[in-house]
A and B are shown apart, each in its own frame.
Chain A
Amino acid sequence: MKVLVAVKRVVDYNVKVRVKADNSGVDLANVKMSMNPFCEIAVEEAVRLKEKGVATEIVVVSIGPTTAQEQLRTALALGADRAILVESAEDLTSLAVAKLLKAVVDKEQPQLVILGKQAIDSDNNQTGQMLAALTGYGQGTFASKVEVSGDSVAVTREIDGGAQTVSLKLPAIVTTDLRLNEPRYASLPNIMKAKKKPLESLTPDALGVSTASTNKTVKVEAPAARSAGIKVKSVAELVEKLKNEAKVI
Chain B
Amino acid sequence: MTILVIAEHDNKVLAPATLNTVAAAAKIGGDIHVLVAGQGAGAVAEAAAKIAGVSKVLNADNAAYAHQLPENVAPLVAELGKGYSHILAAATSNGKNILPRVAAQLDVDQISEIISVESADTFKRPIYAGNAIATVQSSAAIKVITVRATGFDPVAAEGGSAAVEAVAAAHDAGTSSFVNEELAKSDRPELTAAKIVVSGGRGMQNGDNFKHLYALADKLGAAVGASRAAVDAGFVPNDMQVGQTGKIVAPQLYIAVGISGAIQHLAGMKDSKVIVAINKDEEAPIFQVADYGLVADLFEAVPELEKLV
Contacts and interface: CB of A to CB of B under 8 A. Distances in A.
Interface of A: 11, 16-17, 19, 26, 93-95, 98, 120-134, 136-139, 141-142, 144, 154, 157-169, 172, 177-179, 213-223, 226, 228-232, 234-236, 238-239, 241-242, 246, 248-249
A162 B100 contact: no
Contact of A215 (B111, B291, B292, B293): B111
Interface stretch (B37-45, B47-55, B124-132, B202-210): B124-132
B309 interface: yes
Interface string B38-79: 000000000000000000000000000001011100100000
A122 B126 CA distance: 8
A248 B96 contact: no
Given A162-B183, A228-B288, A132 B101 contact: yes
A129 B70 contact: yes
Contacts of A127: 100
Contacts of A168: 175-176
Contacts of A16: 131, 263
Give me the 4 closest cross-chain CB pairs, A-B, nearest first.
Answer: A229-B291, A129-B100, A133-B104, A130-B104
A218 B305 contact: no
Nearest to B70: A139
A138 B72 CA distance: 10
Interface in B77-116: 92-94, 96-105, 107-113
Given A120-B129, A136-B175, 15 more contacts: A17-B131, A26-B127, A95-B107, A124-B110, A139-B176, A142-B96, A159-B181, A164-B180, A215-B111, A217-B134, A217-B135, A220-B135, A221-B135, A232-B293, A238-B292
A230 B292 contact: yes
Contacts of A157: 93, 97
Which of A131, A137, A220, A249 counts the most B-chain CB atoms under 10 A from its CB? A249
B179 A142 contact: no
Contacts of A220: 127, 132-135
Contacts of A98: 104
Contact of B101 (A133, A158, A230): A133
B180 A215 contact: no
Interface of B: 67, 69-71, 74, 92-94, 96-105, 107-113, 122, 126-140, 173-184, 190, 192, 196, 220, 238-239, 244-245, 247, 252-253, 263, 270, 273-276, 282, 287-296, 301, 304-305, 308-309
A235 B36 CA distance: 47
B76 to A, nearest CB: 13
Contacts of B136: 215-218
A161 B104 CA distance: 27
B176 A222 contact: no
A137 B308 CA distance: 56
A160 B92 contact: yes
A95 B309 contact: no
A128 B101 CA distance: 9
A132 B99 CA distance: 12
A179 B93 contact: no
B249 to A, nearest CB: 12
A249 B309 contact: yes
Contacts of A94: 100, 109-110
Contacts of A167: 176-179
Contact of A138 (B112, B176, B253): B176
Given A215-B136, A230-B293, A249 B175 contact: no
B112 to A, nearest CB: 5
Given A159-B94, A165-B179, A166-B69, A226 B289 contact: yes
Contact of B137 (A93, A139, A216, A226): A216
A161 B183 CA distance: 6
A159 B90 CA distance: 13
B175 A242 contact: no
